[in-house]
Each structure stands twice: as structure tokens, then as C-alpha cells.
Chains A and B, each alone.
Chain A
Amino acid sequence: MATLLGEAEAAAPEPAAGQPEIAGRSPWALAARRLWRNRIAMASLVLFLLIVAVCLAAPLYARDIAHVDPFVNNLNGTTIVNGKQVPLMQQGGGVLHLGETPIGPTWDLRHYFLGADAQGRDVAARLLYGGRSSLAIGIGSAVICCLMATVVALIAGYFGRAVDAVLSRLMDLVWAFPVYLLAISISTVLLTSANGLQVGPLHIAASSLWLPTLIIALIYLPYVYRPVRGHVLAATEKEFVAAAVSQGASDLRVIFSDILPNVVSVVIVLLPLMIATTILTESALSYLSVGVQPPNASLGTIISDGQDLLYTRPWVAIAPGIMIVLVVLSLNVLGDGVRDALDPRARLRVEE
């Protein structure tokens, strides 16, 4: 199997000729090794996995450490600060000393670590649950988007002619449509319908996390489709494809065993960057109230809840934002690292 990656490696001088076991390394192993050596990229991968792990532990935290239900109003509840029982909603806090203000951060993991929101719910627990939905939607939509775009790009690039023309023009149309406006239009319509989306036997409730996931996957299709199709076109021109066709290989076989391995690396480079983008998009849609719907929480909805408390209890909005920045930043750094590892020529071009 002559992958483009393999060619890049063959052109490079073998670094350690004396060690025989190196000869057997696949391009993937070499790329993994390069990534492993990239300390900044590995650090961001660790950070990302850490955040994922903490978010997955949300139910454990809420049940066993904080002993709260972050989805139930708790306006009359109390908690313990410095060993004293205090109400969650305090009379006349804040700047104007009017009305009720939820309790601020106690910095005690067991008792409302980040304080309460306007409904008396534990912000720290909500943050973990919200991070869980945001990550699920971000990763889910990026994976679905990459898979669908790759399949369409393989079909368009391999069959060419009319098939390519039709599919590419369709993608151009979605591309021409501004991302947020398209997402907002689809979300508004689907969210307002009483019984969600019904396509044949498939039924998706309006409050389901699948709705934002699919919408976000759809709007970013052309952003993955375009680069992948370019690589499919380039691979289709190669001699090994002609060789496979002349040996009587079926279209499916040529697509999956000769062309696909050559474009997988492009998709893998795009994946972390796409997850970063989809997480930002999800939070923006949720902030605008057309993303994740109650009772579910996401980082975007918590920031939106925190807007009214911004000057009195800033941590309600600040904390989820910090979480988004950390996740997206780590994914962006990781994405750069993956690109450098899988396509050393791109780096060579830039770094001489």
C-alpha cells in the first residue's frame, strides 16, 4: 500500500540505520512517535483528557461529594460555610443591596464550591454536567461531520463528472450560507415544533442533545468536504489506482482499500480542530437559547444564566468560559501537533 505518507517517509533519510527494528515501522507509528515527542501537544492532550474525565465524573461529584441535584430549584436550601449553616439565597447582597442574591463561591468542594445560580442550584455541579453535554455535542458533531463529509468526498472525487458536479455544488451552497444564520434557522424551526423532528421511523425530541449535534454536524460539512475531496482527486490520479482498476477491483474496493487510506490522515488532522470549532459553535448557539434546551445544561447555557448575575456573582459566567477556553485551546494546540506529526512536509515547507 503506497500511501502519500509512506512516500514522505521514504524520501527522508533513515535516522538510525544501525537499529534493525526501525525498518518495520509503519507511517502511522512514525507519526505517533513524532506526536509523542512533541511535548506541548502531549501536554494539551493530557489537559483535554483530564477535562473529559472530570466532566464524565459529574454524576459522581454531584451525588457523593456535593450531595446536590443541579437540575432542581433549591431556593430555600442551605449550605455550610465555615461550619455555620447559611441560606443559599441571601437577602440584599450585590451592588445595590436589593432583592435576593445567591451565595458566592465557598471554595469548599463539598459545599457549593462555585456558589449557587439564580435558582439556588450548585454551579460547580452544573458546570461538570454542562461540560459533559458540551463535550458530547462537540465531539459527536465533529465525528459525524467528518464521517459524512469523507463518504461524500470519496464518492464525489472517485466517480467525478456529474456526481462530483452535483455534490460539490450542493456543498458550495451550504458553504455560501453563513454558519450561524443557518444553524439558527434550523434550530428555531425544530425547537418550536411540539414533538421534535420526525423523519420516517426516526424521532428526535426537541430537548434531545442529538438536535444541536446533528445541526452543527450539518453546517460544517463543506468545511471538511472541500479539503478531503481535493486529496481524493489527487489520489484517484495515482498509478496504484489505475493498477487496481486494471486488475478488476470493484469500485468499492478501490475506494476503501486504495483511496481511503490516503485521505484518512487529512481527516485526522482536521478532527481536533473541528471539535474545537463545534464546541465554540455549540456554546454560542446555547448562549442564544437555540442550542441545548432545559432541563439539560451546557457551558453556553450556564454562561447565559450567569449574564444576569454578572456583576454580583461573576463566577457563574466566568467558570464555564474558562472551561471552554481550556478545552478549545488544548484542542487547537493538539491539532497543530497532529498536523506537524502527520504531514512533516508542511512543516518542512514552512521551516525550510
Chain B
Amino acid sequence: MLTFIVRRGLWTVLVMFAITALVFVIFFKTPGIDPVRLIAGRNPSPQNLAEIRHQFGLDRPFPVQYALMMKQLFITRDLVSYSNQGTLVIPEIFAAAPATLSLVFGAAIIWVVVAIAMGVGAAVLRGTVLDPLLMILALIGISMPVFWLGQVANLITQSRFHDTFLFSWVPPLGYTSLSQNPVRWFEGLVIPWVTLSILYIGLYARVLRANLIEVQNEDFIRTARAKGLTERRVLLRHTLRNSMITFVSLFGLDFGVLVGGGALLTEVVFGIHGVGFLTYQSLTNLDLPVIMATVIYGAFFIVLANTLVDITYAWLDPRVRLA
């Protein structure tokens, strides 16, 4: 187990290095691109341009440029946004993180609970009309673009049915922090939570159903039945538990992706000022330092989540760690 963790840890470090290098190459070394002008934002002054050239060491050799960027991102944390009048980028990202975390945590709870119910329900009801019906619902959930679903939700809850008893409690779009007003925080996030979770409910319910049906044919399930266990116990303690291995590892990966900025479409459509929204804003202003920083921070988070998932997986399943 320890060798596995060390090996996996080394790979993680390598991947993180490679990702920063890749981002660096994309932003600074793409042929035909002048990074100084990109970073400077719109209508830069010559003074700004000179400042940037010096700050990023663009007049110096390649490895120095890379090292300087890493220093500004991780050590001194003084990367400055030029199109946004000298805002410090890294503190801005950390200030946006709670909104993203609130959104993703809530959605994750919903999607895990509903997906398990739907997956188990479909597997148990196999042979009835309800199974294909549930699976078609899941497929529709997978096929909807999340930002469009968010617009439809907004149209219903903010405009067309806002004045009815159904949705009169929905506050205007935006994010209220938990410490400021817990009730408002909850009310404002309910619709985004549901919207974000629908895609994952569809994905997870399908995966879980397929896994459950596959595990049901294993020998140990026959043994469990032969021991005289009730069907409910066989399902919950034996079948479901085994099927959850894939479920849990998928969950770890998706959760990492969402916290690392993958929820940006949901954040944009609901006006939740999280990390993803920050990325979007910087996209529309072409604020390159912010895009770069959010991309690297997001990627780091996801790589870290992957590592944790792999280690948990190896801990659960010895075959993986010995491979």
C-alpha cells in the first residue's frame, strides 16, 4: 500500500508540473501570439507593456519565465490583473471559493441520494415498465445542456411562475453567503442545486443500474441467497455495497472537476460569483492573468482529487494496488 501511495504521489507531482508547463506553453508560447499584449488587456499604455515584460521576464530565457510565473502564482501570490485595475488575482480566487463549494456540495448531496434511489429502483423493477421509463428520464437528463436547463429554470421560477405560490420564495439571481443570511443562502441555491445535479443523476443512475444487474449474477449473491438472507438484505448489504465501488470513484472525480471550476456554466447562468464565474468574467474581459490562475488552480484541485480517489480505490480493492 505504501509503495502504491508513493508511486501515485510521484505521478501526481509530475502531472502538476506538466500541467503548469502546458498552461505556460499555451499562454506564452503559441506561435503568432504576443503574450505581453494579451496580459495587458484592452488599450494598454506603453508603460504597462514594459512593466509586464519585466514582471513576467519575457525578455529573459524560457525557464526563467516559467519560474517567474510559478513564483507569482504560488509563492509571492502577487499576480495582478491588468484589465481590472490592479486587483490581486489569487486572493480573488479564494474569496470566490465558498460560493462554488456551497453550490457543489449541495448538488452532490442531491445527486447521490436521487441517483441511488433511481438506480436501485430501476434494477429492482426490471421487467416492469418503470425500469425503461426511469432510464429514459436518466438519458434525457444526460442530454440537456446545463446552462440551457438553468435558463429554463430561471424562466419558470423568476418570471412565468414567480408570482404563484410555487416559486414566490425564490430570491433574485445571485449568491448570498452563508454567514450573512443562512435562510437566503439556502433559498437562493435550491434551484441551482437541482439544475446542476440533474446531469449527474442521469449519469450515476445509469451506471449504478448496470453495475447492480451485473453484480446480481455473481456467485456470492447466490451464496447470500442460499444462506437464507432476505432479498432486502441481499440487495442492500451485498449487491449495492459492491456496486458502490465504481460509484464512489466516479463521484470523487466529478466532485473534483466541479470544485475545480467545472461548475462554471451553472454559476454563469445563475449569477453565482464563484470560481467558475470568475473564469467567465475574465473570459469576457480577456483578463489573461485571471484565466491562467483559475485554470491552474482548478487543474491542481482536480489532479489532487484524482490522486485521493485512486488511493481510496487501491485501499478498497487490493487488485489495483498490486497491478
Interface residues in chain A, defined as those with a beta carbon under 8 Å from any beta carbon in chain B: 95, 172-173, 176-178, 180-181, 184-186, 188-190, 192-193, 195-199, 276, 280, 283-284, 287-290, 300, 303, 306-307, 310-311, 314, 317-318, 320-321, 324-325, 328-329, 332-333, 349-352
Chain B stretch 146-200: residues in CB contact (< 8 A) with chain A: 146-149, 151-152, 154-155, 158-159
Q: Choose one: A197, A310, A352; the contact of B159 (CB below 8 Å).
A: A310
30 examples of A-B residue contacts, CB within 8 angstroms: A173-B15, A173-B18, A173-B19, A173-B22, A177-B299, A178-B261, A178-B299, A181-B260, A181-B261, A181-B294, A184-B291, A184-B295, A185-B295, A188-B291, A189-B27, A192-B286, A199-B31, A283-B145, A287-B265, A287-B268, A289-B283, A300-B145, A303-B148, A311-B159, A317-B148, A324-B145, A328-B143, A332-B143, A333-B139, A349-B214
- The answer for the CA separation of A188 and B288 in the assembled complex, in Å, is 9
* Residue pair B288, A190 in contact (C-beta under 8 Å): no
What residues on B are CB-neighbors of A283 within 8 Å?
A: 145, 148
Among A173, A289, A303, the residue within 8 A (CB) of B147 is: A303
B73 at the A/B interface (Cβ < 8 Å)? Answer: no
Q: Which residues of B contact A306 (CB under 8 A)?
A: 151
Instruction: State in angstroms the CA–CA spacing of A289 and B291 once bound together.
Output: 14
> Is there contact, CB below 8 Å, between A280 and B145?
yes
How many whole Å from A212's CB to the nearest CB in chain B? Answer: 14
Q: CA of A350 to CA of B260 in the docked complex: distance in angstroms?
A: 35
| Distance from A179 Cβ to chain B, minimum over Cβ atoms (Å) | 8
Task: Please state if B262 and A178 are interface contacts (CB–CB under 8 Å).
Answer: yes
Please give, as numbers and ranges, the residues of chain A lying within 8 Å of B146 by CB-CB distance: 284
Q: Are A287 and B33 in contact (CB under 8 A)?
A: no
The yes or no answer to B128 lying at the interface (CB within 8 A) is: no
Which residues of the partner chain A approach B159 to less than 8 Å between Cβ atoms? 95, 310-311
Query: Are the C-beta atoms of A329 and B30 separated by less than 8 Å?
Result: no
The answer to whether B151 touches A176, judged by C-beta atoms less than 8 angstroms apart, is no
Which of B214, B261, B292 contacts A350, CB < 8 Å? B214
Chain A contacts of B299 at CB under 8 A? 176-178, 181
Chain A residues near B155 (CB, 8 Å)?
310-311, 314, 318
Query: Closest residue of chain B to A186, judged by CB?
Result: B26
Q: Establish whether residues B145 and A188, one from each chain, have CB atoms under 8 Å apart when the complex forms.
A: no
**B63: Cβ under 8 A from any A Cβ:** no
Whether A176 contacts B32 by the Cβ 8 Å rule is: no
Q: B23 contacts A185, CB within 8 Å? A: yes
Asked if A310 and B143 sit within 8 Å, CB to CB, the answer is no
Instruction: Judge whether B230 is part of the interface by a CB distance below 8 angstroms.
Output: no
Chain B interface mostly: helix
0/1 interface trace, chain B 251-281, chain A, CB 8 Å (1 if under): 0000001001110110011000000000110
Please determine whether A284 and B145 come into contact, CB atoms closer than 8 angstroms: yes
Q: What B residues does A328 contact at CB under 8 A?
A: 142-144
Contact B32 A289 (CB under 8 A): no
Partner of A189, one of B38, B142, B151, B268: B38
Shortest CB distance A68–B (Å): 24
Select the residue from B151, B159, B261, B298 with max chain A CB neighbours within 10 A.
Answer: B151
Q: Which residues of A contact B262 (CB under 8 A)?
A: 178, 180-181
> Given that A184-B291, A311-B155 are contacting pairs, would A176 and B303 also be in contact in the complex, using a CB cutoff of 8 Å?
yes
Nearest-Cβ distance from residue A321 to partner chain B, whole angstroms: 4
Interface residue from B26, B144, B264, B284 paired with A180 (Cβ < 8 Å): B264
Q: When chains A and B are docked, how far (Å) is the Cα of A218 from the Cα of B292? A: 19
B140 within 8 A of A: yes
Residue of B nearest to A281 (CB): B145
Of all chain A residues, which has the CB nearest B199? A280
> Residues of B contacting A350 with CB < 8 Å?
210, 213-214
The answer to whether B283 and A288 touch across the interface, beta carbons within 8 angstroms, is yes
Q: Are B210 and A325 in contact, with the CB atoms below 8 A?
A: no
Taking a contact as CB atoms closer than 8 A, the residue among B31, B139, B283 that contacts A290 in the complex is B283
Chain A residues in 8 Å Cβ range of B83: none
Q: In the bound complex, how far is the Cα of B27 from the Cα of A310, in angstroms?
A: 35
B302 within 8 A of A: yes
- Given A178-B262, A192-B33, 6 new contacts (CB under 8 A): A181-B262, A197-B32, A284-B147, A318-B151, A321-B151, A351-B213
Are the CB atoms of A276 and B303 closer together than 8 Å? no
Report chain A residues within 8 Å CB of B139.
Answer: 329, 332-333
Q: Look across to chain B and name the residue whose beta carbon is closest to the beta carbon of A198.
A: B32
**B243–chain A nearest beta-carbon distance, Å:** 13
B181 vs chain A, min Cβ distance (A): 25
User: What is the CA–CA distance of A144 and B126 in the complex, to the nearest angstrom?
Assistant: 38
Closest residue of chain B to A321, judged by CB?
Answer: B148
Cα–Cα, bound, A229→B27 (Å)? 31
Nearest first, the 6 closest Cβ-Cβ pairs linking A and B are: A321-B148, A328-B143, A329-B143, A311-B159, A181-B295, A176-B15
State A348–B154 Cα separation when bound (angstroms): 44
If the complex has contacts A311-B155, A329-B139, are A180 and B30 also in contact, measured as CB distance less than 8 A? no
B3 is an interface residue with CB less than 8 A from chain A: no
The smallest C-beta distance from A117 to any residue of chain B, in angstroms, reads 15
Is A284 a contact of B151 with CB atoms below 8 Å?
Answer: no
> Whole-angstrom distance between the alpha carbons of A332 and B141 in the complex?
11
